[in-house]
Structure 1
């Protein structure tokens, strides 16, 4: 088995092996030592063997074997350490023998907690059999520096050998994140869901969210060796998800929401109340403006005004954003990342609790804006429960709208060369098959003038709506602020401002309009085309 695969496998068994050892010993300190032995033995075996008929059984056969060896074994560590000028660093043969023979799991555990450089020197000297001069040459250090590091490392090992390193809460009960997303532009490596795709990265980020921690402190909180997380922490710091502070400490640089039943229910009541207000004092007027909207020349699939409103209402929701209500600008919280991304990252802890409403109905993703300077084309889309689209922003492609413009203009021939383009547009339901050929299934403005007329026809919000928006922001901020660390308050403020124009408010508005019978849920063949507007030749 190659090393990357072995690393992945051993991470999955760290917790089960610790549980096995704790069950056998009934003592945390002894369990950590025994689990360390088991983990090392399993890891070395993984590197030697390429195939396993039953990997899980094989791992625990090794665990039982190590347990049998452990019974009756006693290791004593001498307290006497000294440093000489020659290659023999100490006359403490007991400690040196333990390192060379790998018979002390606790000692190997403590080696993992040394600094990266000291750990490398100890491993090269005791495990690699290298001389001081060879280590110095390999690491670009003087011989005296290598000797000093060995001395300091051994002193630290002696001090920490009897330390009981308790597993942190995340080692026993790791969290899982859902709803990992962003506001801004993702880079070529993706967004938050890509960088925090693994459980270990999610728990690293959460461990240092409320309080800055060192690598070793994070390792103890996760209940694993620092060796396994150093690279992960460096990677997250490199791409702006963690900040390195003074004293070798790290702090998570994103917004993490930790939901509760009480908070979820309170937010639901709040958005339900204000959505009713937004409908009554703003969106209800849209339903008496059918002729005004049609007179702009906008294309409406099948001429169905209901389909137009399914796109126009969430689009017009942006009108309920008031700059004077913004307390934190996007630039204050966004991070320019190494892969070209520039966005604010967020995630939600997956907490299991029941609520009185169906969470699925309030899913949303947007606003998603796509454009082509060459065609002077802009497209807007907003995903929610009723559109039935899959893939979110990743499947919202510029090329789809560019190809759709060519179809509308009649300059994309229906031939074998373009079969995949047409197949995708039909699969996305941007085009529908009809007896006469095909029909465009999204709202679009055929030229700049049409787009301008449609924009001008959208009503402006009243002062009453603005005042309601201010009060809503205050309530949401108060709910989200609870339990958040001080450094994250700017993120809380950012995500708690202009809620009247938020995606959350728009889905609550749509839900209320359905409940009171003003909006009708579209036919399944039409759903994937809603909440989308294509502007051709500019807006």
Structure 2
């Protein structure tokens, strides 16, 4: 076989051979070493041979041959385990023979799949050299109970070491999550993106989304030792991302969306159609109301009504929310977390595929509300493709708006004490430096009366919009329901309801308004300030 063909074959077999190695060794470090040896041996064999009756069979015959050599080397290099303690129960000499014949790595792999208590007893006895009576005293159990656990553990280990432990799909082809977010209030430990920040937690959550699993079943699905995931599962359950069910099984308690090209191509024209309905029957009115909005006294950067609309249109999107469309309440899907958070969690599986549109242009994150009761201040903001902000909700700080309020009121002197506050405002472009003075670069209402007048000026949606919203919700729900497990249907309904007021539709609304020339793109120095409104002195 020529080198180019051999290279392609090896590329196709890298993952299967690594899966074979991990299944045989049960340890990542050993699996990498074994897979490397197998791959080299297969590659050299491919270069020497030109024809194969069954290439797959040939490759895995080599894999088993290299595995046998690998085991032989490990057995010679390892010390025999301590098994001849006089206290070991009699009548099962075959177990002792297995210990002598198998590698330490294989035995330890199976010990990891024992229950937590049995694993602790076996480790203390075989690896720690402790007497049964001492183990009993330390664990607060009787000697008879310890002997029973050792006997049962030995039976389980003997059985498992004579069988091939399978590896689930996630052990070979793990998923990765994006769009890790929440609806509600994050706690002091963060939100979904913090708790599911690691690949192992993401795959644990996904493994139990469609079917409840025990810890050992999760471990097999991920192709790793249960020892490494017990604490992770405990933490996810403790903070409400997993539920513990009868039979020591766990099930994921959040919404996980698994996108596909077909689903995306179905939703895209649907969102586009209903965004155009929203523009035609609601948002177009805003463009003839420039004077009405200005008469409320709202501050507009540079007096540019276009900049006001970049903020007011997404802000007014909440008017398109209808309570009667909420078939699942926030309380039904949200969880009160131990760190003070109270939110419904969601995530999206990262899938790479091509679609007929550019998804980045429809990015939308919000609504982000920041409050200060002390200063009677409220700020609202969303992030979109069109604004210049890149740091998400974590960098949207109440303190920035408080500083800006003090600048507006003239009680934040430009001195060394306040240098950091001013630096933040300039960096975020909430505040601009002009030739003559400083300029606030966001929309704001200076007092309660101005805010009330602005809210009163926002038009109310018509019955036509409400009818469209009802149809949109049902259509989106049916699309999102595909492939979802029964227990997740309430999550699907929750995240598919009141779509007309959702960030998704509002992103399509903004895109449509730009495309038809009604909304003008903001100047570069204005981008960071759009889609933000601050309400001052609300009391």
TM-score band by shorter chain is: 0.7 to 0.9
List aligned pairs for 1:124-143, cutoff 5 A: 124-143=124-143
**Which segments of 5 or more consecutive residues in structure 1 lack a partner in the other structure?**
1-18, 43-55, 76-83
SS of match in other structure, 1:314? helix
**Residue 75 of structure 2 contacts residue 102 of structure 2 at CA under 8 Å; is this kept in 1?**
no
Report the TM-score when normalising by structure 2.
0.86
CA distance in 2, matches of 1:38, 1:194: 27
Residue 159 of structure 1: how far off its partner (Å): 2.1
Decide whether aligned partners of structure 1 residues 261 and 184 sit closer, same or farther in structure 2, where only a CA change above 3 A counts: same
Partners of 2:123 and 2:95 in 1: CA distance: 14
Shift of 1:97: 6.2
Q: Does structure 1 residue 167 correspond to structure 2 residue 158?
A: no
C-alpha displacement at 1:106, in angstroms?
3.2
In structure 1, distance between residues paired with 2:170 and 2:486 = 22
Instruction: State the secondary structure of the residue aligned to 1:461.
Output: coil
The alpha carbon displacement at 1:390 in A equals 1.4
Deviation at 1:219, TM superposition (A): 0.7
- 1:68–1:159 distance in 2 versus 1, CA, 3 Å: closer
1:516 corresponds in structure 2 to 516
2:295 equivalent in structure 1: 295
Q: Which residue of 2 aligns with 1:14?
A: none
Taking the aligned partners of 2:504 and 2:73, their CA distance within structure 1 comes to 62
- Within 5 A, what are the aligned runs for 1:167-206? 167-206=167-206
What is the distance in 2 between the residues matched to 1:72 and 1:521? 68
1:59-458 residue pairs with structure 2 within 5 A?
68=69, 70-71=71-72, 87-90=87-90, 92-93=92-93, 95-96=95-96, 99=99, 103-458=103-458
Is the 1:99–1:126 Cα contact (8 Å) retained in structure 2?
no
Query: Offset at 1:157?
Result: 1.4
Distance in 1 between residues matched to 2:67 and 2:264, nearest whole Å: 48
Q: Which residues of 2 match residues 23-62 of structure 1 at below 5 A?
A: 23=17, 32-36=23-27, 39=30
Following TM superposition, by how much is the alpha carbon of 1:136 offset from its aligned partner in structure 2, in angstroms? 1.2
Residue pair 1:38, 1:66 contacting (<8 A) in 2 also? no
Deviation at 1:33, TM superposition (A): 3.8
Partner of 1:479: 479
| Alpha carbons 1:242, 1:252 under 8 Å: kept | yes
Cα 1:74/1:367, change in 2 over 3 Å: closer
Aligned length: 492
* Cα separation, partners in 2 of 1:91 and 1:323, compared to 1, 3 Å: same
Question: Aligned partners of 2:31, 2:223: CA distance in 1, in Å?
Answer: 16
Against the structure 1 CA distance between its residues 65 and 268, is the aligned structure 2 distance closer, same or farther, given a 3 Å change threshold? closer
Contact 2:113 2:225 in 1 (8 A): yes
Q: 1:36 to 1:443 in 2, by over 3 A?
A: closer
For residues 446-481 of structure 1, the C-alpha deviation after alignment (integer angstroms, 9 at most, x for no partner) is 100000000000000000000000000000000000
Given that residues 75 and 103 in structure 2 are in contact (C-alpha distance below 8 angstroms), is that contact kept between their aligned partners in structure 1? no
d(CA) in 2 for partners of 1:318, 1:457 = 14
Structure 2: where are the runs of 5+ without partners? 1-12, 41-64, 77-84
Contact conserved, 1:21 with 1:32, CA < 8 A, in 2? no
Return the alpha-carbon distance in structure 2 between the equivalents of residues 32 and 484 of structure 1.
30
8 Å contact 1:406–1:412 — kept in the other structure? yes
CA contact (8 A) 2:23 2:223 kept: no
